[in-house]
Amino acid sequence: MAYRNLEIAHRGAIRTITVHRPDKLNALNRETLNELTLAFAQASQDDDVRVVVLAGSGEKAFVAGADIAEMNGYTPVQAQAFSRAGQRLMTSIERLGKPVIARIQGFALGGGMELAMACHLRVASEKATFGQPEINLGLIPGFGGTQRLLRLAGRGAALELCLTGANISARRAYELGIVTRVVAPESLDDVVSALADQLAAAAPLAAAGILDAVLQGGETSIDQGLEFETQGFALAFSTDDMREGTTAFLEKRKAVFQGR
């Protein structure tokens, strides 16, 4: 399937989805949101895909936000639909059931930061810049930013970033727990590739169980979270991969996981 605003690449079990509107710093207009929604649905359904890397085209930006030119003409009803479409996309990424790595260079602002926060792991170049500048436009974040930033970095950081609209460096984002790794710009692709390779070789059903337990656990009581974990742990014992992983350890060889 050909996309107007995305580039899709495959390497083994790794699918890379790149937002490609470089002349608009990869800003998310409605068409791009729709295409991303479709591309992630395809990645979810394709059993050959074990890991997704999400990137932005060019050096300057991961994604510089929702498309301000498009939003400028929206009615409240259109804005509501746009927010819901963005939130649905972010939730579908978070609940993909396969690890999603954001590869972040340049600007990750507004909807770009929200998109990155919906991914499971965020690897940023030292030169990346993060921020929720919506307040500077008389807006509030609308693609889940107030909620995911709150959960990732806590109330203080969420309020400070959203209320000031200030940009922060990748290092500061790392200190706040917003990104999981910060690397030199020239190492970004190698680090993301190595991480994607590592996750692609991991047991996919175990990865899905971990994603499920951590994501659901973040939204519930410790007792319910522990129960999710027990159910996921027990379910793993129904998989060929669990037999393979434990047997390979005992036989002192490398496990080969099939996702069964």
Catalytic residue positions, numbered: 114, 134
Based on the shown chain and the rule CB under 6 A, indicate whether residue 67 belongs to the binding site for ligand COA.
yes
Task: Provide the residue type at 173 as one letter.
Answer: A
Kindly indicate which of the ranges 24-32, 171-179, 225-233, 243-251 contains the residues binding ligand COA, using the contact rule CB under 6 A: 24-32
Query: To which H or E segment does residue 162 belong?
Result: helix 145-164
Based on the shown chain and the rule CB under 6 A, indicate whether residue 68 belongs to the binding site for ligand COA.
yes
* Sole binder of ligand COA in the list 6, 27, 102, 158 (CB under 6 A): 27
Shorter beta-carbon distance to ligand COA: residue 2 or 69:
69
Based on the shown chain and the rule CB under 6 A, indicate whether residue 209 belongs to the binding site for ligand COA.
no
Kindly indicate which of the ranges 34-42, 133-141, 202-210, 229-237 contains the residues binding ligand COA, using the contact rule CB under 6 A: 133-141
Based on the shown chain and the rule CB under 6 A, indicate whether residue 24 belongs to the binding site for ligand COA.
yes
Based on the shown chain and the rule CB under 6 A, indicate whether residue 133 belongs to the binding site for ligand COA.
yes
Nearest-angstrom CA–CA distance, 257 and 143:
35
Shorter beta-carbon distance to ligand COA: residue 112 or 209:
112
The number of residues in the chain equals 260
* Sole binder of ligand COA in the list 64, 96, 117, 242 (CB under 6 A): 64
Binding mask 92-131 for ligand COA (x = CB under 6 A): ---------------x-xxx--------------------
Binding mask 137-156 for ligand COA (x = CB under 6 A): x-x-----------------
Based on the shown chain and the rule CB under 6 A, indicate whether residue 35 belongs to the binding site for ligand COA.
no
* Cα dihedral value 52, 59, 108, 197, nearest 10: 20
Displacement of CA 60 from its chain's centroid (Å): 19
Within 8 A by CB and 6+ apart from 123, the residues are: 101, 102, 103, 104, 179, 180, 181, 182, 183, 188, 191, 192, 195
Is residue 102 within 8 A of residue 115, CB to CB? The reply is yes
Displacement of CA 52 from its chain's centroid (Å): 9
DSSP 8-state symbol, 123: E
The interface with ligand COA within residues 239-258 (CB under 6 A) comprises none
Task: Provide the residue type at 82 as one letter.
Answer: F
Based on the shown chain and the rule CB under 6 A, indicate whether residue 20 belongs to the binding site for ligand COA.
no
Q: How many CA atoms lie within 13 A of 137 on its CB side?
A: 16
Q: In the chain, helix, strand, coil percent, each to 5? A: 55, 15, 30
Q: In the complex, which residues of this chain contact ligand COA (CB under 6 A)?
A: 24-25, 27, 64-69, 107, 109-111, 133-134, 137, 139
